[in-house]
Amino acid sequence: MNKTKPTFDVKKNPNPVTGEQRELLLANPGWGRVFTDHMVTMRYSEDRGWQDWRIEPRKALDLDPATSVLHYALEIFEGMKAYRLPDGGATLFRPHANARRFRNSAERLAMADLPEDLFVESVRALVCIDREWIPSAQGAALYLRPFMIGTEVALGTKPSCDYIFCVIASPVASYFKGDGPAVTLWVSENFTRAAPGGTGAAKCGGNYAASLAAQAEGLREGCEQVVFLDAVERRWVEELGGMNVFFVFEDGSLQTPPLGGTILPGITRESLITLGRHMGLTVREERYSIDQWQEDARSGRLTEAFACGTAAVVTPIGKVKGRTHGFTVGDGKAGPVTQRLKAALTDIQFGRADDKHGWLDRLF
């Protein structure tokens, strides 16, 4: 691991949002629409490496119209949160896991390697300068979006020589609108998300762009998220547009699709596998077909299902719809195992339970 500690050139926002305005925004932040006063930026060039580390007022990026990200989607990102602790302090959750995944995403897209410590220090620095923006309402947090774009001005299809790494922050409440008991999923039969050898395991903007036609179809059908099937046989459940998926069976066991290069290795997923096993539950990482899911939901063998991710936290799945599928999971509401796992995870993240696994990175 690279031990470089960046020294940021700090330029404080001369016109930050007033305390009063901020309180109003924090009272109802929605998801991903309110932003803090600052951002972190770093630049990379092939000959000089990472340099020009800055914390500065949040502002628009100035890009030449021939910049590579605008043409070939040379973009990767991460999603993580800073949580307000009961004593008024704040913590990150497993930031090095995000930093590692970011490096893997960069490698897959032939982008510049950003050492883990630079990534983590950048995120810590932004949260510290914008600490007043960490919400304290139940379940709310400061969402952090580190991302990197290729900035070489060239239209040739080749890896970029120049990059910008940037971190922005957004106070967020629940990802799903409304207070429905559970989300409804649309089974995407027309579109797949990722194929073997593709970029499914990387967190790159292109994956999300490619998922939006399916998401639009799902929204038209009254569904909140899309469940993607594998691209080869079109039968194995992979993941949702922006979250991993778990199944709970009547014997109390849990199952989640295995990582195999086509789904995102979620940090929430991995944490829940660990927490489930610590609770004494059997957790399998095995393939599960959409037809089996329907059959098990109808027979009662499957009792619960939930989505998980940084944005979604743990969200129960109530109904599944598609051109050739339609079923309700359990009673269509959050089941007991889902609720127990959600409580176990969020109690650690918000500092209400012992951090037995050493997952927290306390900031202040």
Binding site for ligand PLP (CB under 6 A): 79, 239, 242-244, 264, 266-269, 309-310
Tokens for 329, please give them: 């999971």
* Least separation in angstroms between CB 49 and ligand PLP: 28
Burial grade of 130 (CB within 10 A; 0-12, 13-18, 19 or more): buried
Q: Which is nearer to ligand PLP, 13 or 104 (CB)?
A: 104
Q: How far is the CB of 262 from ligand COI (least distance, A)?
A: 17
**CB closer to ligand PLP out of 55 and 254:** 254
Can you tell me which residue has the tokens 């039968």?
Answer: 235
Which of 29, 79, 95, 257 contacts ligand COI by CB under 6 A?
A: 79
Could you tell me the two tokens for 328? 């309700």
Task: Spell out the residues 6+ positions from residue 215 whose beta carbon is closer than 8 angstroms to its own.
Answer: 225, 226, 241
Rounded Cα–Cα distance for residues 155 and 180 (Å): 47
Cβ proximity of 196 and 163 under 8 Å = no
Q: Which pair of tokens denotes residue 23? A: 């309180």
Minimum CB distance to ligand COI, residue 309 (Å):
4
Considering the complex, state which of residue 8 and residue 102 has its C-beta at the smaller distance from ligand COI: 102
Closer of 27 and 209 to ligand COI (Cβ) = 209
DSSP element (H, E) containing 189: none
**From candidates 199, 215, 225, 310, binder to ligand COI by CB under 6 A:** 310
Strand partners, 196: none
249: buried, middle or exposed (CB in 10 Å: 19+, 13-18, 0-12)? middle
Report d(CA 68, CA 50) in Å as an integer. 18
Instruction: Using the minimum distance from each CB to ligand COI, give the nearer residue, 226 or 348.
Output: 226
Per-position x/- string for 231-270, each x denoting binding to ligand COI as judged by CB under 6 A, each - no binding: -----------x----------------------------
Minimum CB distance to ligand PLP, residue 242 (Å): 4
Burial class (CB in 10 A: 0-12, 13-18, 19+), 80: buried
Residue 218 interacts with ligand COI (CB under 6 A)?
A: no
276 contacts which partner out of ligand COI, ligand PLP, none, CB within 5 to 8 A by kind? none
244 binds, among ligand PLP, ligand COI, none (CB under 5 to 8 A by kind): ligand PLP
In the structure, how many helices (H) and strands (E) does the chain have? 8, 18
- When CB distances are held under 5 to 8 angstroms depending on the partner's kind, the choice from ligand COI, ligand PLP, none that residue 269 binds is ligand PLP
Q: How far is CA 81 from CA 25, 45, 127, in A?
A: 18, 29, 10
| Geometric angle at alpha carbon 304, from 189 and 187, rounded to 5° | 10
Minimum separation from the CB atom of position 231 to ligand PLP (A): 15
What is the phi/psi pair of residue 97, to 5°? -70, -40
| Tokens at 337, concatenated | 């195992």
Task: For ligand COI, give the closer residue by CB, 160 or 207.
Answer: 207
Least Å from the CB of residue 263 to ligand PLP: 7
Q: Do 99 and 116 meet the contact criterion of CB atoms below 8 Å apart?
A: yes
288 token code pair = 């599960």
309 binds ligand COI (CB under 6 A): yes
Examine residue 316 and tell whether it contacts ligand COI (CB under 6 A): no
What's the N-to-C CA distance of the chain in angstroms?
24
We find the least distance from the C-beta atom of residue 208 to ligand PLP, in angstroms, to be 7
**172, 311, 320, 341: which one binds ligand COI (CB under 6 A):** 311
Q: Which is nearer to ligand COI, 294 or 315 (CB)?
A: 315
Residue 267 partner contact from ligand COI, ligand PLP, none using kind-dependent CB cut-offs of 5 to 8 Å:
ligand PLP
Our CB check for ligand COI shows the closer of 168 and 311 to be 311
Return residues touching ligand COI (CB under 6 A): 79, 242, 309-311
